[in-house]
């Protein structure tokens, strides 16, 4: 029964997801992480069904820690969602879940000792985990600044392009995106070897517009 259910849901997840770049906040680039999450849930069901009894508590805790941490890492490395907001929310949930499991394991390990601060550790850790996830943006920035010839995998190139699209889309609303985009254009015009590069052309156009606007202002004055 478990196997049939597993196969059916595997097929549903791999075949049935919105993989185009649309405004749908749940659209994804790939279902790698989904598959992993599904596998992990089946493993949980298996272990929690067949290993009942208090003597297995520590063992189950370890399973939970290992798989929740792997899921968290998988969400960060694959970045399956196009939408930045959805991606951050999912990372937050996965991160808090992994942290909770870690604290649970810690409590299991020291259950013999007289220690009652686990709940405090859990609630102290959650905001720290959230802050860490929310502020880790710089590796994408680094990716944006590496040139195409230095990027090794197609996945990375895709990530770079989606980040580029993201900053272009949000440049009107987010100040940081506007700054990053401006920096990227300047950086690119310096390193790009092609004279006919569209980004260079765009920068020249902007410069010309600025100059004409200034000269017109001078004429009026
Ligand atoms: Zn170029």
Distance 187 CA to ligand 1 centre (A): 10
pLDDT confidence of residue 132: 83
pLDDT confidence of residue 6: 81
Distance between CA 192 and CA 189 in Å, rounded?
6
Distance 145 CA to ligand 1 centre (A): 12
Distance 163 CA to ligand 1 centre (A): 17
Task: Give pLDDT < 50 ranges for the chain.
Answer: none
User: How much is the pTM?
Assistant: 0.69
pLDDT confidence of residue 65: 92
pLDDT confidence of residue 77: 81
Distance 173 CA to ligand 1 centre (A): 26
Distance 77 CA to ligand 1 centre (A): 27
pLDDT confidence of residue 18: 65
Distance 189 CA to ligand 1 centre (A): 7
pLDDT confidence of residue 21: 65
Q: Among candidates 1, 62, 12, which has minimal Cα distance to 37?
A: 12
pLDDT confidence of residue 69: 92
CB 17 within 8 A of CB 31: yes
pLDDT confidence of residue 137: 59
């Amino acid at each position: 029964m478990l196997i049939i259910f597993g196969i059916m849901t595997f097929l549903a997840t791999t075949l049935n997801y919105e993989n185009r770049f649309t405004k749908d906040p749940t659209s994804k680039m790939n279902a790698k992480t989904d598959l992993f999450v599904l596998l992990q849930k089946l493993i949980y069901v298996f272990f929690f069904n067949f290993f009942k009894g208090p003597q297995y508590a520590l063992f189950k805790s370890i399973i939970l820690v290992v798989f929740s941490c792997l899921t968290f890492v998988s969400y960060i490395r694959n970045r399956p969602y196009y939408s930045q907001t959805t991606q951050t929310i999912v990372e937050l949930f996965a991160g808090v879940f992994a942290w909770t499991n870690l604290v649970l394991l810690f409590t299991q390990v020291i259950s013999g000792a007289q220690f009652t601060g686990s709940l405090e550790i859990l609630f102290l850790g959650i905001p720290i985990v959230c802050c860490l996830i929310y502020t880790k943006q710089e590796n994408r920035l680094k990716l944006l600044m590496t040139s195409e010839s230095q990027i090794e995998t197609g996945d990375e190139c895709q990530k770079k392009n989606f980040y580029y699209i993201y900053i272009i889309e949000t440049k009107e609303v987010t100040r940081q995106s506007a700054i990053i985009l401006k920096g990227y254009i300047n950086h690119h015009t310096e390193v790009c070897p092609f004279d006919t590069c569209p980004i260079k052309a765009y920068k020249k156009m902007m410069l010309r517009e600025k100059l004409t606007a200034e000269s017109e202002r001078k004429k009026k004055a």
